[in-house]
Structure 1
Amino acid sequence: MAPDGPMVSLVEIEPGLAVLFADQPPVGLDLIPFEMMSPHASQGLTDKLAMASGIGNLAAQGAQGAATAQGLVRLAPETLQALKTAQPMTSGGWNLGSLVTSKGKIAASVRWAPVTGAQAASILSALGPAAALLALQVQLASISRRIDENIQLTRDVLQALHEDQWTTLLGLHETTMRAVREAQAAGAVNDHIYAAIATREPDLRKQRLLFRSFVRGHIKALDTDGQSRRAHIQKNIEQILADAHGMLMAEWSWYRAQVLRAGHISRDEANAVENERLLAELVADTQREHTRAMDEVADLLTDLERQCRLIAELPVEWSLPFTTKRQNTRDTVAMAEALAERVATLRNRVHTQPGPLDPPLTVFAEAVPDDVLRILRWVVPGEEPLLAIADVNLDRLVGEDAYLGVTPARLFISPQSSVRKQGVIEREFPLADVRYVRFRERDKRGPVLDIITTDENIKLTFDDWAGKGQGLDDTRRLANLLAAAMDLPESERRTDPLLSGESSTTRALTR
């Protein structure tokens, strides 16, 4: 370190991607050099970054070489995930930490300005139009380090189901990949390199729109109740996998073409003024469209993987219909997971799954059946932890065993057969809708739990085991947990003159 501060500094310009300033790159660090950008443009951009972030001032004060931009460093998705729950040490508005090589060794102590901080906002503001060139470099870095990897299982499905589109898809993929490699080797996107891309523009847009429409169709079909969602997956599992893989190939071919076009435009310094505005619009539109498309395919694959894992936990008769063996269902899960992991990598995110359920409150005569928790792991909405689960009876003409579950945001009630055979939760209610909870004990019988919501009066009963000892203690705590959510919002409160102020009787007595 230099006397006045660290000699290695990062200025984050989007979540997980930062410009590295140092006298020389740390040994063993996976550094992304500036590529396909003219020396003049690169130097002007990094000079503005250095001064806007304060690193230029450090250089003037004697931090030798601290204002030299060496390239881009990508923070691992695991690091970004950890920063959501842990706060780094800070000093003078900068986060402090360490840079680690690909082998896990510490390369250098570092400070960095996070993109979400006030300092980062002032940095981007100071860059002005130059921010478009920086965004361009971010895109180039993403492409150079995220080379498409073929997932053979889903590729085979794609080729079989979209045989008429396969040749075009593969041709666009190979053409754009070759152009990127040539541009990186040449250090620029010249006319010779871009000519091959310019002629494929209609095919690029057609394939992108085609497969995106397929994916959106599946998303719409899955935006329904659990049983209908599962029926669509059971009928169309191979088609969903093929369409998702096809969209990834079409999307990234189009994305590469847009970045190459931006690189070609930035090389035209004779028309720099108008090109600066054009480049800013092109980069912004490309980022916005690409982010939306990747979010769509990620949402589809997340839901698909979740539903496939659920199907694998259900009885054999609910297995995927095109399979002949249970092993094939597990293969389908692996295919969905492989695509989901690939999308997470492309978005520089950690591929996560909900963890096994371990509710702190269980209201059962004995232990909660293992298969119930395995199924509910993939059924409980979102990433909400399961706080409580109970074995209850629905108060109907013909009584029915059911499960009552509570998460931090909602409660759900479903017949046990629906959960264990079909993986379906029939009814759920936001805890914010709970207005009143009544718990009644009964002699020689299990207690009664009444839950009053904005729209329904729900009556649940418990078997005899819940009327004494530990069973009674557990049911009381469950009632207290739900009662803690009781709320009557101001919008539902009412007043009446008969209950406001003194009544006429009271006034008469005081005369």
Structure 2
Amino acid sequence: MPPEFEESANKVSMPADDVPDATVALDEEPTVSLVEIEPGLAVLFADQPPVGFDVIPFEMMSTQANKGLTDKLALASGIGNLAAQGAQSAVNAHGLVRLAPETLQALNRARPMTSGGWNLGSLVTGKGRIAASVRWAPVTGAQTASILSALGPAAALLALQVQLASISRRIDENVELTRDVLRALHEDQWATLLGLHETTMRAVREAQAAGTVNDHIYSAIATRDPDLRKQRLLFRSFVRGHIDALDTDGQSRRAHIQKNVEQILADAHGMLMAEWSWYRSQVLRASHISRDEAHAVENERLLAELVADTQREHSRAMDEVGGLLTDLERQCRLIAELPAERSLPFTAKRQNIRDTVAMAEALAERVAILRNRVHTQPAPLDPPLTAFPEAVPDEVLRILRWIVPGDQPLLAIADVNLDRLVGDDAYLGVTPDRFFISAQGAVRKQGIIEREFPLADLRYVRFRERDKRGPVLDVITTEENIRLTFDDWAGKGQGLDDTRRLANLLAAAMNLPEAERRTDPLLTGSLRDATRPSIPPAKADALPR
């Protein structure tokens, strides 16, 4: 990946055993304060910015507007009071700091140390060195919510600065792997798309150089507004069409991908270009409005609405294209594991499915980078409990990796038989919140799971051993009575131990919600007496009354 696409390695590091000097840094008085104003982006306050730390300067806002905004932020967060009390010699807002997506993931998994309402940690440079101890107010905390509320209309300008920083640091140039596909399939739209992309990018560069969005800069954008909106709506409709087509059963979803994979990639790429061109134009418009100080009061309300609408619409669009690309990459990886079809059609030649996976992955990674998120994939499956005559076939686990519901770990998998007139070999799998049953051929040849059930619907489990034959497992849900059998290998030794453990795992999830419980006066008294344990008189006297 080219350097301009790489994330900043600077991050907030949680105290950990593998960071040898983290505890040393936390013993010192924090020298840096961060106020997070959207996930992963914070305003940096310090007497001096940490050496080797990448700070995004404030741009495209007047010096007076910047100072007024950061002064309000410092006072609302209490940082200004800290300076007055001598805890920090000076408090300056140096700009914005972007936390790496890996850091945000770590913060979701770990509970940070706190002091005086602030989270504590360490700032780490790209080379892994601790640059400074830090206190920060996360955007998800009540403290930051109260800070942004105290800012009032000025919060719109702060949100504007967030957007500008995001754009300036994330230049969305074309992904080379899919640009040719887009140009070939949308030749009639390509010139317009590329023109809008280059026009808005040039306007951003000019505004950053001038430190403002004046009439000369914005006029070039204003004349392209109809084209910007048309292209955005056009490609969003294409993407939504694919999303609807993939919202079906596994076999139909794979058939749509095999027939249209080239079109899906082109439409997703086109939507990214159209969406970010429109997004840049909205941010430039907001910056242009903020220059009109003669109408500052009404413009504050206009800016607040413009920024909120832009953020909401942009987030929704990126959710759509991100979800489509995630599903596309997943399905392509599944096809690569199936025996029937290992190549997909592309223009005049047939490309290997792994080339297609690379194209889908490249676009999915681009979306993740633009959204400051980690591009993830389901982890390889390694179920701790297996009930098989031998080891679980590797190809089964590779296929299930892409079709197990909910991206959850696979707790158990078993080789079972469906109790039918003509029995079928099947797989029984258990995850933390559901179980599934599917014929083995459906999994290994078609890459589908036929039936799945929430564990919350599981009512009763019965496990019965049989002489000279494998045991029987009855699973009763809210809607079905399912009988599964095991072959002779499960009737003794390790096989019997494994199947017993599997039955016990399912039985641990049995429940009967209060809403499904029934009573009858004919049984209430006798049932209570029948189920009451027998207690010897001597012990009964000792029970509390």
TM score, norm. by length of structure 2: 0.90
Question: 88-97 vs 75-84, which deviates more?
Answer: 88-97
Judging changes above 3 Å, is the alpha-carbon distance between structure 1 residues 117 and 435 closer, same or farther for their aligned structure 2 residues? same
Instruction: Confirm or deny that 1:93 pairs with 2:117.
Output: yes
Instruction: Confirm or deny that 1:221 pairs with 2:245.
Output: yes
179, 186, 189: which one aligns with 1:162: 186
* Percent pairwise identity: 87
SS of alignment partner, residue 406 of structure 2: coil
- Cα separation, 2, equivalents of 1:324 and 1:475: 52
412, 432, 437: which one aligns with 2:436: 412
- Cα separation, 2, equivalents of 1:72 and 1:333: 36
- Cα separation, 2, equivalents of 1:414 and 1:177: 51
1:493: Cα distance to partner? Answer: 1.2
Judging changes above 3 Å, is the alpha-carbon distance between structure 1 residues 279 and 65 closer, same or farther for their aligned structure 2 residues? farther
1:325: Cα distance to partner? Answer: 9.5
Cα deviation per residue 1:282-301 (whole Å; 9 max; x = unaligned)?
00000000001001111111
Instruction: Confirm or deny that 1:123 pairs with 2:162.
Output: no
SS of alignment partner, residue 73 of structure 1: strand
Residue of structure 2 in register with 1:262 after alignment: 286
Residue of structure 2 in register with 1:379 after alignment: 403
Instruction: Confirm or deny that 1:15 pairs with 2:39.
Output: yes
SS of alignment partner, residue 84 of structure 1: helix
Residue of structure 2 in register with 1:328 after alignment: 352
Residue of structure 2 in register with 1:80 after alignment: 104
- Cα separation, 2, equivalents of 1:405 and 1:296: 30
1:103: Cα distance to partner? Answer: 3.5
358, 361, 366: which one aligns with 2:382: 358
Conserved? CA contact 2:29–2:133, under 8 Å: no
- Cα separation, 1, equivalents of 2:464 and 2:347: 50
1:491: Cα distance to partner? Answer: 1.2
The code of the aligned residue for 2:515 comes to S
Instruction: Confirm or deny that 1:26 pairs with 2:54.
Output: no
Residue of structure 1 in register with 2:538 after alignment: none
- Cα separation, 1, equivalents of 2:32 and 2:248: 51
- Cα separation, 1, equivalents of 2:200 and 2:345: 38
Counterparts in 2 of 1:81-230, with a 5 A limit? 81-230=105-254
Cα deviation per residue 1:377-399 (whole Å; 9 max; x = unaligned)?
00101221000000000111111
1:101: Cα distance to partner? Answer: 2.5
Residue of structure 1 in register with 2:304 after alignment: 280
Residue of structure 2 in register with 1:447 after alignment: 471
- Cα separation, 1, equivalents of 2:429 and 2:475: 13
Instruction: Confirm or deny that 1:391 pairs with 2:391.
Output: no
- Cα separation, 1, equivalents of 2:246 and 2:436: 20
Conserved? CA contact 2:75–2:81, under 8 Å: yes
Instruction: Confirm or deny that 1:317 pairs with 2:341.
Output: yes
Q: How many residue pairs are counted as aligned between the two chains?
A: 503
Conserved? CA contact 1:434–1:454, under 8 Å: yes
- Cα separation, 1, equivalents of 2:360 and 2:295: 47
Judging changes above 3 Å, is the alpha-carbon distance between structure 1 residues 478 and 64 closer, same or farther for their aligned structure 2 residues? closer
1:4: Cα distance to partner? Answer: 10
Cα deviation per residue 1:72-127 (whole Å; 9 max; x = unaligned)?
00000000001111122221111111222334332222111111122112111111
Instruction: Confirm or deny that 1:45 pairs with 2:45.
Output: no
69, 80, 87: which one aligns with 1:56: 80
Residue of structure 2 in register with 1:236 after alignment: 260
Instruction: Confirm or deny that 1:428 pairs with 2:452.
Output: yes
Cα deviation per residue 1:439-470 (whole Å; 9 max; x = unaligned)?
11111000111111111111110000000000
Instruction: Confirm or deny that 1:69 pairs with 2:93.
Output: yes
Residue of structure 1 in register with 2:485 after alignment: 461
- Cα separation, 2, equivalents of 1:449 and 1:366: 20
- Cα separation, 2, equivalents of 1:371 and 1:251: 39
SS of alignment partner, residue 104 of structure 1: coil
Give the unaligned 5+ runs of structure 2: 1-24, 531-545
- Cα separation, 2, equivalents of 1:382 and 1:30: 37
Conserved? CA contact 1:99–1:110, under 8 Å: yes
Judging changes above 3 Å, is the alpha-carbon distance between structure 1 residues 12 and 171 closer, same or farther for their aligned structure 2 residues? same
Judging changes above 3 Å, is the alpha-carbon distance between structure 1 residues 32 and 52 closer, same or farther for their aligned structure 2 residues? same
SS of alignment partner, residue 305 of structure 2: helix
- Cα separation, 2, equivalents of 1:326 and 1:208: 31
RMSD across aligned positions (CA): 1.8
Judging changes above 3 Å, is the alpha-carbon distance between structure 1 residues 227 and 290 closer, same or farther for their aligned structure 2 residues? same
Judging changes above 3 Å, is the alpha-carbon distance between structure 1 residues 159 and 218 closer, same or farther for their aligned structure 2 residues? same
TM score, norm. by length of structure 1: 0.96
Question: 488-497 vs 153-162, which deviates more?
Answer: 488-497
Cα deviation per residue 1:160-198 (whole Å; 9 max; x = unaligned)?
111111000000000000000000000000000000000
The runs of at least 4 aligned residues of structure 1 exceeding 6 Å deviation read 323-327
The code of the aligned residue for 1:134 comes to L
Give the unaligned 5+ runs of structure 1: 507-511
- Cα separation, 1, equivalents of 2:524 and 2:499: 38
Conserved? CA contact 2:381–2:410, under 8 Å: yes
- Cα separation, 2, equivalents of 1:371 and 1:4: 53
Conserved? CA contact 2:439–2:450, under 8 Å: yes
Cα deviation per residue 1:341-380 (whole Å; 9 max; x = unaligned)?
1100000000011110000000000000000000000010
- Cα separation, 2, equivalents of 1:474 and 1:28: 56
Conserved? CA contact 1:414–1:427, under 8 Å: yes
Conserved? CA contact 2:69–2:154, under 8 Å: yes
- Cα separation, 2, equivalents of 1:64 and 1:445: 77
Question: 12-21 vs 107-116, which deviates more?
Answer: 107-116
The code of the aligned residue for 2:313 comes to E
1:6: Cα distance to partner? Answer: 2.6
